[in-house]
Amino acid sequence: MLPIVQLVHRPGILDLGWGHPDPTALPVAALRRATDATLTRYGADALAYGAERGPGPLIEWICARLAHIDARHPDPAEVLITSGASQALDLLCTLMTAPGDTVLVESPTYHLAVRILRDHPLHLVAVPSDADGIDVEALTTILKQLAKRGRRARMLYFVPTYHNPTGVCLSLERRRALATIAAEHGFVLIEDDVYRELSYDAPAPPSVWSIAPPGTVVRIASFSKSLAPGLRLGYLTADASLTRRLIGSGVLDSGGGLNPFTALTVAEVCAAGDFEATVTRLRAMYRERRDALAQSLRMYLPPGCRFTVPGGGFFQWVELPEGVDAATLLPRAEQTGVSYLPGSRFYLDAARSNTLRLSFSLYPPHQLTEAARRLGEALAAIR
Amino acid sequence: MLPIVQLVHRPGILDLGWGHPDPTALPVAALRRATDATLTRYGADALAYGAERGPGPLIEWICARLAHIDARHPDPAEVLITSGASQALDLLCTLMTAPGDTVLVESPTYHLAVRILRDHPLHLVAVPSDADGIDVEALTTILKQLAKRGRRARMLYFVPTYHNPTGVCLSLERRRALATIAAEHGFVLIEDDVYRELSYDAPAPPSVWSIAPPGTVVRIASFSKSLAPGLRLGYLTADASLTRRLIGSGVLDSGGGLNPFTALTVAEVCAAGDFEATVTRLRAMYRERRDALAQSLRMYLPPGCRFTVPGGGFFQWVELPEGVDAATLLPRAEQTGVSYLPGSRFYLDAARSNTLRLSFSLYPPHQLTEAARRLGEALAAIR
């Protein structure tokens, strides 16, 4: 039997390596209503080559939504509907870079975004980060070093809000500083903003896009976390001149937009109030899971382990005691019935090997507690 | 009001420039049944991160379908589900080429595919074609010239079956010769095979993929013509080692396949018999339109115009008398209420300016007849 889903269950293992939503959280009934409503309301228009930018109803909803959950809302000409965040990043690499261009990447960072960047002929340079996110002073030093070698940065990829894997939110001061530096040096900030809707304590901070000078930031967003990843639907906000450049590309022109039927369907989900209802439900569910995991880690992890509870997103980053290698620990952890991703996966270089990423999105609280207990047991066994 | 569809109606003009399906031909009811069935049968699995290759049920259906409509059917490991043909071509450029690689392109060819190729840092070289399709002798000469300059071809993009824009089917002899040449010279044939299901007189010829040595051909296919373009769903068949390379890319891994919800939905369309019913209906409808346009062109075009009636697809290619420039004629044609794409759009170089492409997909027979009459009127006016 060929598989349908990406997730692979390993019997006996609570696998906190997967950054996937709990299947029970996916809005099946809302999607059923929305597909039906879409085909009733739009008929054949829902199945035709779509407007290159994406369908008007979804663009208008996004503009209105961002007025609520960000510090600035875009004009429709600043929005482009994409087939998810991954495809948006790939498209930006294809259309905004030339071979050999230098692209800065916050480190640690989302490991699969690095894979997308590496599929293009780019020169990647790591920018270190600390407990407050990307290190702006280190960035300045790197830019100077690049300039000495006659190089300029073309883009910087980063996840400032509920970071994957660290859970950190970049401070407002650093957001402002980054925007200023990017504008001065003439590179584009690629702001991966896919966790904005999943805030558990307070509203998400303003996006860098919302506070930066025009043309400085492309913000990539997604319905994968707030609705369902299988829809492969996302959007970006950027300067109107850039969205025009993207719309003028061969892929968007020849295909008639990137995912028009699904985009109209999601517009119906939103119009019916099911988006708001879904994220409200997800926030409550994932908040409870985040808290259960944090509480259990406090209970079961041995002294010397450190972690900061994230304000949103899917991920709990854990620092093990110095000298403990999370990759070496992994087989032992899996023997006790728990798995995770070693932190080294998320670094471009100079990996801190005593780190790991736990995702609290896939399991209910009692299983997260058991996972923490097993992790503690594995750690105790190697001491 | 922001638009929903790509098509723009210009009042008073029968616009045979659009290679779009007639909206009345789009299977709205079948899609409604299929989305409902998908969410009932698969529940949350339909909305989760999908298997990277695409969902098993659709892959299995494609293997069985190609056993009926091609000379060889693939193994599941030779299939990859994509977000339409455009995105597949873009992905192949990203993952299979290096900057500066030489890519051969049949000329004339599908103009928007050229736009996708040009969005990558490739060196495009035109290969001429004649009334039987791509000119294999000319290709051999070009390969020799490249070799003299120390260059090799990496890929060749072509549309051998119901060609866009010419409607030509490449002869079986040339298909075999092309496969041999590609294998000898070590370049990959990118076979754009999106019109295979739309055959009006006889079954489509065997794909080059089906008769070529393993690893020589990537065949790109699509549900845009056979079901609906707004689904953005296609697939490719290629050597298992190549599909593994694609599956291992950042975009496919991070996104969980390219369009899983839509792919499962189309699997339901197919399982319900609605794919077969749709293509049977489309073949009858477009055959009638092709015949109506051809008959009307015979009636209304002045002497010196030449055309060959295509055996499938969407397009009627017309050669005007030598010295008549289709681009110069266009404003006059639009004044009489008909439009088309000048043939020069489809050439990489050395355009034959006395050619034009008419699409018979969008209008019913009586409007195609009127369009031909207006075209004849515009031609008469300039003589």
How many other CB atoms are there within 10 angstroms of residue B360's CB atom? 28
Strand, coil or helix: A331:
helix
Whether A256 and B98 lie within 8 Å, measured CB to CB: no
Select from A32, A44, A264 the Cβ nearest to the Cβ of B28. Answer: A44
**Which chain B residues are within 8 Å of A99, Cβ to Cβ?**
99-100, 121
Whether B230 and A60 lie within 8 Å, measured CB to CB: no
Dihedral (Cα; B219, B223, B229, B232), 10-degree rounding: -70
Residue A322 class from Cβ within 10 Å (0-12 exposed, 13-18 middle, 19+ buried)?
Answer: exposed
Given CB atoms, is B228 within the 8 Å cutoff of chain A? yes
**In which band, very low, low, confident or very high, does the pLDDT at A349 lie, cut at 50, 70 and 90?**
confident
Tell me the pairing of strands A133-134 and A123-130.
antiparallel
Q: Nearest-CA residue of chain B relative to A118?
A: B250
**Which chain A residues are within 8 Å of B56, Cβ to Cβ?**
1-4
pLDDT digits (tens, 9 = 90+) for A256-280: 999 999 999 999 999 999 999 999 9
pLDDT at B207: 98
Given CB atoms, is A228 within the 8 Å cutoff of chain B? yes
**Which chain B residues are within 8 Å of A50, Cβ to Cβ?**
4-6, 230
Whether A2 and B255 lie within 8 Å, measured CB to CB: no
Q: How far apart are CA A271 and CA A298, in angstroms?
A: 42
Query: What six digits make up the tokens of A30?
Result: 């809302």
- At A356, give phi and psi (nearest 5°): -150, 160
Given CB atoms, is B291 within the 8 Å cutoff of chain A? no
Whether A36 and B36 lie within 8 Å, measured CB to CB: yes
Given CB atoms, is B87 within the 8 Å cutoff of chain A? yes
pLDDT at A350: 78
Average pLDDT over residues A95-114: 97
pLDDT digits (tens, 9 = 90+) for A52-80: 999 999 999 999 999 999 999 999 999 99
Q: Nearest-CA residue of chain B relative to A84?
A: B255
Select from B2, B50, B57 the Cβ nearest to the Cβ of A6. Answer: B50
> Which of A159, A208, A207, A205 minimizes the C-alpha distance to A182?
A208
Q: How far apart are CA A78 and CA A322, in angstroms?
A: 46
Nearest 5 degrees, angle CA A335-CA A337-CA A342? 80
pLDDT digits (tens, 9 = 90+) for B251-301: 999 999 999 999 999 999 999 999 999 999 999 999 999 999 999 999 999
B positions 142-161 inside 8 Å of A (CB): none
Given CB atoms, is B5 within the 8 Å cutoff of chain A? yes
Nearest 5 degrees, angle CA B363-CA B364-CA B367? 75
Given CB atoms, is A344 within the 8 Å cutoff of chain B? no
Q: Nearest-CA distance from A369 to chain B in Å? A: 24
Query: What six digits make up the tokens of A345?
Result: 């996966």
> Of B82, B109, B259, which to mutate for an interface test with A (greatest number of A Cβ within 10 Å)?
B259
- B157 beta partners: B105, B190
Whether A98 and B121 lie within 8 Å, measured CB to CB: yes
- A107 beta partners: A128
The percentage of residues in chain B with a pLDDT greater than 70, rounded to a whole number, is 100
Select from B6, B47, B254 the Cβ nearest to the Cβ of A116. Answer: B254
- At A307, give phi and psi (nearest 5°): -160, 155
Q: How far apart are CA A299 and CA B261, in angstroms?
A: 40
Select from A7, A90, A261 the Cβ nearest to the Cβ of B48. Answer: A7
Q: Nearest-CA distance from A261 to chain B in Å? A: 5
pLDDT at B382: 87
Given CB atoms, is B1 within the 8 Å cutoff of chain A? yes
Q: How far apart are CA B99 and CA A126, in angstroms?
A: 23
Average pLDDT over residues A304-325: 97
**Which chain B residues are within 8 Å of A57, Cβ to Cβ?**
2, 4
Whether B47 and A27 lie within 8 Å, measured CB to CB: yes
**In which band, very low, low, confident or very high, does the pLDDT at B66 lie, cut at 50, 70 and 90?**
very high
Given CB atoms, is A59 within the 8 Å cutoff of chain B? yes
Is the confidence at residue B383, as pLDDT, over 80? no
**Which chain B residues are within 8 Å of A32, Cβ to Cβ?**
35-36, 39
Q: Which amino acid is at B337?
A: G
Q: Are A261 and B232 within 8 A, CB to CB? A: yes
Average pLDDT over residues B231-237: 98
The percentage of residues in chain A with a pLDDT greater than 70, rounded to a whole number, is 100
> Which of A217, A189, A223, A279 minimizes the C-alpha distance to A83?
A223
What is the pLDDT of chain B when averaged over all its residues? 97
A positions 238-257 inside 8 Å of B (CB): 249-251, 253-257
- ipTM over 0.95? The verdict is yes
pLDDT at B349: 84
pLDDT digits (tens, 9 = 90+) for B170-211: 999 999 999 999 999 999 999 999 999 999 999 999 999 999
Average pLDDT over residues B231-245: 97
Strand, coil or helix: B58:
helix
pLDDT digits (tens, 9 = 90+) for A173-214: 999 999 999 999 999 999 999 999 999 999 999 999 999 999
Is the confidence at residue A383, as pLDDT, over 80? no
Q: Nearest-CA residue of chain B relative to A79?
A: B2
pLDDT at B341: 98
Q: Nearest-CA residue of chain B relative to A92?
A: B119
pLDDT digits (tens, 9 = 90+) for A229-250: 999 999 999 999 999 999 999 9
pLDDT at B350: 78
**DSSP E strands: which ranges in chain A?**
14-15, 79-82, 102-107, 123-130, 133-134, 153-158, 188-192, 217-222, 234-237, 315-319, 338-339, 341-342, 355-359
Whether A115 and B43 lie within 8 Å, measured CB to CB: no
Query: What six digits make up the tokens of B270?
Result: 């197919």
